[in-house]
Chain A
Amino acid sequence: MAFVAPKETYSGKVYQVNIGTGANALSFGGENVLPFNAFEGAVPNKPVIAYEVQDVPPSDWPENVQKPYSSVSGDPVTWAKFCQETLKAKAIALRLVGTHPDRENRSPEDAAKTVKDVLSAINVPLIILGSNHAEKDSPVLIAAAEASKDKNCIIGKAQEANYKTIAAAAMANNHKLIAMSELDINLSKQLNILITQMGFDKERLITDPMCSALGYGLEYTYSVMERIRLAALTQNDLTMQPPMLADVGMYVWKIKETQAPESEVPLWGNAEERGIAWEATTAASLIMAGAELLIMRHPKAVSAVEKVIEELV
């Protein structure tokens, strides 16, 4: 029996989202096939990796991922410039973690100033993230969205508890929006519907089904992403067609495997290489499940994933 390639044609496609302005603007998404299945359809864009930068020094990051930034991370502007110029970052994700009430509890005005300063120092697209405190994120992200008006940033994350104010701010200031729910395809769909019912354009959304680190629930994120992507392609479900985000760095660099020194766990090998490989492998697995936008921390992990992306397209 002769071989006939069992190719699929899907009825749906992933929305293409563009971010930033000018020569360094970027697009991701846009494919009408499963990840890297270019043999049967169009894959117009590669996944984009954004370097994570914080508004406060990364004292909570493990030493091995603090090190590459030790001379620049005292100030978000220097840090962001270093990512763009030295590390050749294609995009930057500014996490306003210092606004968290349990951290420095910075004000929305402080956050707005940081956003403005960072934006004036870089020309690659910017992702602006709150501290993941549902209540505090509302005023912080409203101020941040206004401070970055018309710069075509991504604002996030809108969750069930705070999506109204954050989506309205993103809409009023011409930004894209991350909608995050917790590891459940139905919650994810419902949140996308709620946000679009406010009049927010579904083609300006990015879905974050919640990331998990390798060994710490990665399989849940992986399967939720695969199911979302299949719903988008095979059922042409318009509410499931935004591209997906994997917020890899913050989940990976808090687990034991990225911190424990080799002296404590000799069987686990070199801690620095282990941490980098942990972040890179988590990211590489999730791009195969459908993630198009990644937020990462270690420069070596980012280059390794970019290298594998080059080989995948």
Chain B
Amino acid sequence: MALSGVEIFKLLPKTNCKKCGHPTCLAFAMKLAQRQATLDLCPDVSEDAKKILGEASAPPVRPITFGTGDRAVKMGEETVLFRHDKKFVNPCILAVEIKDTLSESDITKKTEEVLSSEIDRVGQKLRIDAIALTNVSGDKAKFEAAAKIISSKAPNVPVILATTDPAAAEAAAKLFAGKRPIIYGAGPVNAEAMANIAKAEKAILGVTAGGLDELSALTEKIKALGVEDMVIDSGAKKAKDIIGNNTLIRRAAVKKNFKALGYPVINFAQRDDSLHEALIAAVGIAKYASIVVLSSIEKWKNLVMFTLRQNIYTDPQVPMQVEQKIYKIGEATPDSPLTITTNFSLTYFIVSGEIENSKVPCRLAVMDCEGLSVLTAWAAGKFTASKIAAFIKESGIENEVKHRELIIPGYVAILSGSIEEKLEGWKITVGPREANGLPAFLKARTA
């Protein structure tokens, strides 16, 4: 585990010189422990202390950037086991396998699927991040030829070059020179040769072994050979072993600061049955994988995987927000009812879901309240009569609807009079307190 503030304090000069910008060495030590300051701010710290603190303050899971340019993806840097403790940092990378036994046209087709996989969801752009080319043929020439197709069709997509043959790895890696590919991988037999190639090509090295003992020994050996950036595979294929090994790896890194397993984890989820594969990938995404390799990327599956990854990796301390605007639900006409709520994503999802269930076409005005729910936003002075009136006026809704009636949540019934005062010509109607009352409420109005 990382050092505590007091443990760090013992290693500092204890001069309270303030050169680091903190009032005392103890205050500085506390900031260091929370990773809110870096040791280079202290000009007087001893070399010994630097070494100890440097090792202890490095993130427990090594940060690595895979690929280069716009499509580069970050891995590692994780500090916790549970997302409610602190945000999971770098979302799991999704890669699709392309076998070198496929025909040129099939390789091209799959590569193009990756390039066109991008979907926008709640304001985030989500996509298949990487390609994993596997040397299933065992033939160096085939592997190189397939790598050529990929490097020309998708020069910016990060690539995993999966082969146990050092010569094939080297030939393929040269096609991605300077692009930070992952060479996967090094096992107990070829570790030295693979480490040399990874070093020469400045590539990340995928390391695989049967079990965590052997894996730790191997990463230490490879580190001693001069390769720092590794991704690790415990050999787990079955869901049970993926959860078990990934959990032990993350615990060893985060709780014991065990450096030999402090690397991003790669899981291979390929299955014949695409839905089963999606669920194995879900196990990896929820339980600590930094890369999950899939065999197919159908659109429906991508949407499911992207959404799960987004859910698991959201910041639990920052409410998810939706964009402030007036949403049309169903085939809303200028006569359809207009309702209003706040922009906390959960509020929006529940309210819009209930309106959809009612089958009554509506407009839903979603007002930016910094992601607070209705009652909280009202209590915090963000969902007030004057703000609601201003939002409605500025939204331009008066040109879109024929009527002048706004339905407000029942919890803020108290606002109805003052909104009517501030929003001339409008009638305010008090809706149900809970969203689940909306279907009955809306249906009763149209009946």
> Is B423 among interface residues, defined by CB-CB distance under 8 A?
no
Q: How far is the CB of A184 from chain B (nearest CB, A)?
A: 12
State in angstroms the CA–CA spacing of A254 and B299 once bound together: 20
Q: Is the CB of A270 within 8 A of B299?
A: yes
Q: Is the CB of B278 within 8 A of A277?
A: yes
Q: Is the CB of B279 within 8 A of A217?
A: no
Contact with B along A240-283 (1 / 0, CB 8 A): 00000000000000111100000000111111011011101100
Given A1-B260, A39-B248, A274-B300, answer yes or no on A223-B84 (Cβ-Cβ < 8 Å): yes
> Is B314 among interface residues, defined by CB-CB distance under 8 A?
yes
> Is A36 among interface residues, defined by CB-CB distance under 8 A?
yes
State in angstroms the CA–CA spacing of A308 and B280 once bound together: 7
> Is B256 among interface residues, defined by CB-CB distance under 8 A?
yes
Q: How far is the CB of A78 from chain B (nearest CB, A)?
A: 26
Q: Which residues of chain B have C-beta atoms less than 8 A from A312's C-beta?
A: 239-240, 243, 283
Q: How far is the CB of B410 from chain A (nearest CB, A)?
A: 16
B82 interface neighbour in A35, A226, A300, Cβ under 8 Å:
A226
Q: Which residues of chain A have C-beta atoms less than 8 A from B279's C-beta?
A: 280-281, 284, 304-305, 307-308
> Is B83 among interface residues, defined by CB-CB distance under 8 A?
yes
Given A3-B260, A102-B439, answer yes or no on A254-B357 (Cβ-Cβ < 8 Å): yes
Q: Which residues of chain A have C-beta atoms less than 8 A from B439's C-beta?
A: 102
> Is A313 among interface residues, defined by CB-CB distance under 8 A?
yes
Interface size on B, residues (CB 8 A): 61
Q: Is the CB of B308 within 8 A of A281?
A: yes
> Is A220 among interface residues, defined by CB-CB distance under 8 A?
yes
Within 8 A of A (CB), among B209-234: 212-213, 215-217, 220
Q: Is the CB of B278 within 8 A of A281?
A: yes
State in angstroms the CA–CA spacing of A5 and B246 once bound together: 12
Q: Is the CB of A288 within 8 A of B286?
A: yes
> Is A135 among interface residues, defined by CB-CB distance under 8 A?
no
Residue of B nearest to A220 (CB): B346
Q: Is the CB of B212 within 8 A of A311?
A: no
Q: Is the CB of A280 within 8 A of B275?
A: yes
B275 interface neighbour in A5, A34, A215, A300, Cβ under 8 Å:
A300
Given A226-B82, A269-B300, A312-B240, answer yes or no on A218-B283 (Cβ-Cβ < 8 Å): no
Q: Which residues of chain B have C-beta atoms less than 8 A from A102's C-beta?
A: 439-440, 443
> Is B418 among interface residues, defined by CB-CB distance under 8 A?
no
State in angstroms the CA–CA spacing of A269 and B303 once bound together: 8
Q: Which residues of chain A have C-beta atoms less than 8 A from B119's C-beta?
A: 267-268
Q: Is the CB of B82 within 8 A of A269?
A: no
Q: Which residues of chain B have C-beta atoms less than 8 A from A69's C-beta?
A: none
Q: Is the CB of A257 within 8 A of B303?
A: yes
Contact with A along B274-296 (1 / 0, CB 8 A): 01101110110011000000000
Q: Which residues of chain B have C-beta atoms less than 8 A from A266's C-beta?
A: 299
> Is B251 among interface residues, defined by CB-CB distance under 8 A?
yes
Q: Is the CB of B356 within 8 A of A254?
A: yes
Q: Which residues of chain B have C-beta atoms less than 8 A from A216's C-beta?
A: 346, 349-350, 353
Q: Is the CB of A256 within 8 A of B213?
A: no
> Is B68 among interface residues, defined by CB-CB distance under 8 A?
no
> Is A285 among interface residues, defined by CB-CB distance under 8 A?
yes
Q: Which residues of chain B have C-beta atoms less than 8 A from A23's C-beta?
A: none
Q: Is the CB of B299 within 8 A of A37?
A: no
Given A102-B440, A223-B316, A312-B240, answer yes or no on A284-B283 (Cβ-Cβ < 8 Å): yes
Q: Is the CB of B282 within 8 A of A284?
A: yes
> Is B247 among interface residues, defined by CB-CB distance under 8 A?
yes
> Is A214 among interface residues, defined by CB-CB distance under 8 A?
yes
> Is A22 among interface residues, defined by CB-CB distance under 8 A?
no
Within 8 A of A (CB), among B292-347: 298-304, 307-308, 310-312, 314, 316, 345-346
Residue of B nearest to A3 (CB): B216
> Is A38 among interface residues, defined by CB-CB distance under 8 A?
yes
Q: List 9 A-B contacts (CB under 8 A).
A: A212-B346, A214-B304, A219-B312, A223-B83, A255-B353, A256-B356, A307-B273, A308-B279, A313-B240
Using a CB–CB distance below 8 Å, which chain A residues touch chain B? Answer: 1-8, 34-39, 60, 102, 132, 212, 214-220, 222-223, 226-227, 230, 254-257, 266-271, 273-274, 276-278, 280-281, 284-285, 288-289, 300, 304-305, 307-308, 311-313
Given A215-B307, A288-B283; 7 other pairs, CB 8 A cutoff = A214-B308, A222-B286, A254-B353, A256-B356, A268-B119, A269-B298, A312-B239
Using a CB–CB distance below 8 Å, which chain B residues touch chain A? Answer: 82-84, 119, 121, 212-213, 215-217, 220, 238-240, 243-244, 247-248, 251-252, 255-256, 258-261, 273, 275-276, 278-280, 282-283, 286-287, 298-304, 307-308, 310-312, 314, 316, 345-346, 349-350, 353, 356-357, 436, 439-440, 443
